[in-house]
C-alpha cells in the first residue's frame, strides 16, 4: 500500500508470513469429548450413521396414508403407537392411523403426519376425528423428517482444523464418537520485564507501577487453550534475561513477554533473543502495537509484545492468538476475526500509514441502525478503555479521516477471544 510507512509490515502480511514460517508445533492427542471444548480438531470426523437414522415424525400426532384422507367421512381407528425407540411393528392398516411421537419412526405405509392439535381423540385415544378443513390442508409427506436429511453416513461432519464449540462436540457425540484427535496445548512461558514494575500485592515503590500486562497475556493464552507457565517479573538485565530465555526455550513451545521490545537503552529483549537465536519479524504497521517481535530460540517461538497495556491486548488478540492457534493446527478459515459493518457515531482524524484499532462499543440508534462509539482517548496506556470497550473499530492504513455517519468495521471483542 502506498501510504505504508517505510520499514513497517502490515498485519495481514505479517500473519501471512508467520503462517508460512511457523509450523504446526504440537502433536495430536486423543481426548474424551468432555475434555475437548475449545480444542483444535486434528482429524476429520466422519459420520458413522445417518441422522435421522430412519424416517421419523417432526411432531406429536397421527401418522396416516395420504391417499386414505380423501375417503375419510367419520371416525378413524387408531391401530397402534409409534414412540421414539419403540417403533410400530407392521404395516399401517388401510384407513387407520398410528399415534406417533416426535422423533418416532414413521410406520410402513404411512406418508404424512397430522399434528395432535388438529385432531379430536376419544378418551383412550383409540379413535380420532379429523375435520374436512384439516384434511384439505394436509399434504403428502407433511411433518416427516427423512432418513439422512441432516447427516448421511460417510459425510464429513467436522473438518480438521476446527476450533471445537459445544455444537461441534454435540454432533460428534451424536455420531457415537467418544474420543477426538485434538491438538496438544502449546506450552507457553510468560514473563514481564521492567525495573519499574511491581507484583500486585507488593508495596509500590516510588515511581513504580503494578504489572498488569502479564495477567492479561496469561488470560489471552488460556482462553485459546494454552498451558501457561508464569515466570513472573524479570529484571532489565542482559544476563538475567538470557539465562531465563535459554532455560524456558528448552521446556516450552513458546515464550511470550511484554516490554523491552522497542529500541530504548533498557529494551533488551531483541539483543537477548539474537544472542540465543534469531528474529524473523519486527515492527508492524499497526496502532496500537508497532514494536512487536517474533523470533526463535531453537524450536521455541518467541513473541515480544509492546509495554503499553492496550498495545498488549490489541496485538495479542489480532496477531498472537491467530498465530498460536495456527501453531496448534487451526484452519485458516477459523482465524479471521468477525467484522460487523456499523455507522460511525464520531468524527476522527489521524495520520495514514498504519492500520489502527479504536476502542469502541455499539449502540442502536432510533432508526434501528448500529452505531459505533469510540473511546475519547487513543492513548495505549489507558487500560480502562479496554474495560469500557466491547469491540474495536478497524481503520485501514490509507484511512485518514472518519466522519460521523461513515461506514466502519467493528470487531466484537467476544469474537476475538
Residue-wise pLDDT tens digits, 400-413: 999 999 999 999 99
**Three-state DSSP class for 172?**
helix
Which CATH homologous superfamily contains domain 32-51+150-183? Molybdopterin biosynthesis moea protein, domain 2 (3.90.105.10)
Look at residue 193 in the predicted model and tell me its pLDDT.
86
Domain ranges of the chain: 11-26+185-334, 32-51+150-183, 56-145, 340-416
Can you name the CATH fold of 11-26+185-334? Molybdenum Cofactor Biosythetic Enzyme; Chain A (3.40.980)
Residue 26 cell numbers, joined: 504440537
Backbone angles phi, psi at 154, to 5 degrees: 100, -15
- One of 2.170.190.11, 2.30.110.10, 2.40.50.1070, 3.40.1280.30 is the CATH number of 56-145, namely 2.170.190.11
Look at residue 262 in the predicted model and tell me its pLDDT.
60
Look at residue 1 in the predicted model and tell me its pLDDT.
42
Question: Cβ atoms within 10 A of the Cβ of 137, count?
Answer: 11
- We find that the CATH architecture of domain 340-416 is Beta Barrel (2.40)
Question: Per-residue pLDDT tens for 163-193?
Answer: 999 999 999 999 999 999 999 999 999 999 8
User: CA nearest 269: which of 291, 250, 285?
Assistant: 291
Look at residue 283 in the predicted model and tell me its pLDDT.
86
Q: Residue 397 contacts by C-beta under 8 Å, 6 or more apart in sequence?
A: 1, 3, 4, 10, 285, 352, 353, 354, 355
Verdict on whether the full-model pTM lies above 0.85: yes
Give the residue-averaged pLDDT of 238-247.
95
Compute the mean pLDDT over every residue in the chain, rounded to the nearest whole number.
Answer: 93
Question: Per-residue pLDDT tens for 320-371?
Answer: 999 999 999 999 999 999 999 999 999 999 999 999 999 999 999 888 888 9
Question: Cβ atoms within 10 A of the Cβ of 87, count?
Answer: 19
Q: How confident is the model at residue 267 (pLDDT cuts 50, 70, 90)?
A: confident
Give the residue-averaged pLDDT of 242-253.
97
Cα separation of 337 and 317, whole Å? Answer: 9
Amino acid at each position: 500500500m502506498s501510504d505504508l510507512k517505510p520499514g513497517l509490515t502490515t498485519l495481514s502480511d505479517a500473519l501471512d508470513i508467520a503462517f508460512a514460517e511457523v509450523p504446526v508445533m504440537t502433536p495430536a492427542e486423543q481426548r474424551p469429548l468432555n475434555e475437548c471444548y475449545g480444542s483444535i480438531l486434528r482429524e476429520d470426523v466422519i459420520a458413522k450413521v445417518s441422522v435421522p437414522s430412519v424416517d421419523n415424525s417432526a411432531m406429536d400426532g397421527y401418522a396416516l396414508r395420504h391417499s386414505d384422507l380423501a375417503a375419510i367421512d367419520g371416525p378413524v381407528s387408531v391401530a397402534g403407537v409409534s414412540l421414539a425407540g419403540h417403533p410400530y411393528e407392521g404395516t399401517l392398516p388401510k384407513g387407520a392411523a398410528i399415534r406417533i411421537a416426535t422423533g418416532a419412526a414413521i410406520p410402513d405405509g404411512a406418508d404424512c403426519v397430522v399434528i395432535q392439535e388438529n385432531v379430536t381423540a376419544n378418551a383412550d385415544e383409540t379413535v380420532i376425528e379429523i375435520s374436512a378443513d384439516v384434511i384439505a390442508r394436509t399434504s403428502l409427506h407433511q411433518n416427516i423428517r427423512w432418513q439422512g436429511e441432516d447427516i448421511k453416513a460417510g459425510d464429513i461432519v467436522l473438518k480438521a482444523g476446527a476450533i471445537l464449540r459445544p455444537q461441534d462436540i454435540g454432533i460428534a457425540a451424536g455420531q457415537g464418537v467418544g474420543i477426538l484427535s485434538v491438538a496438544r496445548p502449546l506450552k507457553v512461558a510468560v514473563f514481564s520485564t521492567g525495573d519499574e514494575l511491581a507484583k500486585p500485592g507488593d508495596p509500590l515503590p516510588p515511581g513504580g507501577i503494578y504489572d498488569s500486562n502479564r495477567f492479561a497475556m496469561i488470560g489471552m493464552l488460556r482462553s485459546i487453550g494454552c498451558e501457561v507457565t508464569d515466570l513472573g517479573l524479570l529484571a532489565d538485565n542482559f544476563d538475567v534475561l538470557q539465562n531465563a530465555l535459554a532455560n524456558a526455550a528448552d521446556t516450552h513451545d513458546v515464550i511470550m513477554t511484554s516490554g523491552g521490545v522497542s529500541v530504548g537503552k533498557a529494551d533488551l529483549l531483541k539483543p537477548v533473543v539474537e544472542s540465543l537465536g534469531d528474529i524473523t519479524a519486527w515492527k508492524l504497521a499497526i496502532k496500537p502495537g508497532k514494536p512487536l517481535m517474533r523470533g526463535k530460540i531453537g524450536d521455541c517461538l518467541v513473541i515480544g509484545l509492546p509495554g503499553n497495556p492496550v498495545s498488549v491486548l490489541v496485538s495479542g488478540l489480532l496477531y498472537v492468538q491467530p498465530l498460536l492457534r495456527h501453531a496448534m493446527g487451526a484452519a485458516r478459515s477459523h482465524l479471521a476475526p468477525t467484522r460487523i459493518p456499523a455507522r460511525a457515531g464520531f468524527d476522527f482524524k489521524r495520520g495514514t500509514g498504519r492500520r489502527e484499532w479504536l476502542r469502541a462499543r455499539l449502540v442502536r440508534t432510533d432508526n434501528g441502525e448500529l452505531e459505533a462509539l469510540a473511546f475519547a482517548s487513543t492513548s495505549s496506556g489507558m487500560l480502562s478503555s479496554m474495560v469500557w470497550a466491547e469491540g474495536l473499530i478497524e481503520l485501514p492504513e490509507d484511512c485518514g479521516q472518519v466522519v460521523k455517519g461513515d461506514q466502519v468495521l467493528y470487531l466484537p471483542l467476544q469474537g476475538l477471544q
